[in-house]
Copies of this chain bind each other. A is one copy, B any other.
Amino acid sequence: MADSRAPDPTRRSERSRRAIYAAALALVTEVGYARTTVEAIAARAGVGKQTIYRWWPSKGAVLLEAFLDLADQAARAADGGAGLHGIPDTGDLAADLRLVLRATVDEMNDPAFDLPSRALAAEGIVDAELGAEFARKLLEPQLQLYVKRLRAGQEAGDVRRDIDVRVALELLVGPLAHRWLMRTLPLTHAYADAVADLALYGLAPRP
């Protein structure tokens, strides 16, 4: 049956945008960052090259947005819809950190997130300029969510006031990233819980 509505250019654009993101992520997974081209993204997405250049100045810009969208989708899938809008503040810091670290583990175990993210990480590790750009634009905004939650924790008396929370958050995200990228041991919810517990309460006995 024909749709009675007139063709909607916004919906068509949205469809093209999503096809371009999907093509970009598929290509970076299959051939790596360096060999992904705007031409190949356009061909795979079924759009003209000029459509991509109308919206984005470069391959790097398309991929940055595709990864921002991927991270947001993955976070929505993992936490039941909240997306990258923040870390919950239920007043129970340990529970909130366990929740977000479990969601991160779920992302890392999801091939739709894992494979393109590995391709991007691998390129950023050997290409200093690209790595720094993606750290600044893609990673740092996510890390700032931890800064915000840990600062609220300092105000509530749940986090030491004498620590730099921008450094402290790396004790939460660093171990998960290490296990993910270095492939040492499985990424499980029990591991996420252990990291949250150890980061909060430390390795040394409490007096």
Contacts and interface: CB of A to CB of B under 8 A. Distances in A.
Q: How large is the interface on A (under 10, 10 to 19, 20 to 34, 35 or more residues)?
A: 35 or more
Contacts of A126: 32, 118-119, 122
A184 B131 CA distance: 9
Contacts of A64: none
Main SS class of interface, A: helix
A199 interface: yes
Contact of A201 (B167, B191, B204): B204
Contacts of A93: 204
Interface in A164-207: 164, 166-168, 170-171, 173-179, 181-185, 191, 194-195, 198-207
Given A121-B125, A124-B183, 12 more contacts: A118-B126, A125-B181, A128-B183, A135-B183, A135-B184, A143-B184, A158-B204, A161-B205, A163-B194, A174-B179, A177-B177, A207-B207
